[in-house]
A = this chain, B = another copy of it.
Amino acid sequence: MKGITRKVVMIAGTFDLLHPGHVHLIHEANSLGDVTAVIGTDTIVKKLKGKAPIIPERQRRYMIENLKGIKHAVIGFSTTDFSKIIKEIKPDIILMGPDQQPSNEKMEEFVQRAGAQCEIRRLESRITNFSLTSTTGILERIKHGD
């Protein structure tokens, strides 16, 4: 009897200062299949957010690949066009965070441009049982205290 092939689930992001929101996304992704995390390069993060990430890309990759539930982690997107990385990873599912860019419609365009068959899903809500569930929240706490 052949083993069951798990689906390929792609998540993408900066994964700068890791927090429970990242872990929650990974848990959900891992419940759907084998998770590949695609990490934005330092250059694209700076372009998208107007400032460089705190943690350099190689270190961000090392940290995320050492979280439970991650199968692969790649420094993978260097433009705002996700179609190239979708072609490479060939995910069955792309799972996005509740308020993550781009929109589902925009991501659907990238999937079509890649000529891929892929379901786009989005977490319904942020994790709520911890106090610092965003990189911004952690930075605020560091800069201004409680």
Contact = CB atoms under 8 A, between A and B. Distances in A.
A84 interface: no
A59 B63 CA distance: 17
A116 to B, nearest CB: 29
A54 B135 CA distance: 12
Interface string A20-31: 100100100000
A63 B23 contact: yes
Interface of A: 17-20, 23, 26, 54-56, 58-59, 62-63, 66-69, 130-132, 138-139, 141-143
Given A19-B63, A23-B63, A139-B142, 9 more contacts: A18-B18, A23-B62, A26-B66, A56-B131, A56-B132, A59-B130, A66-B68, A67-B67, A67-B68
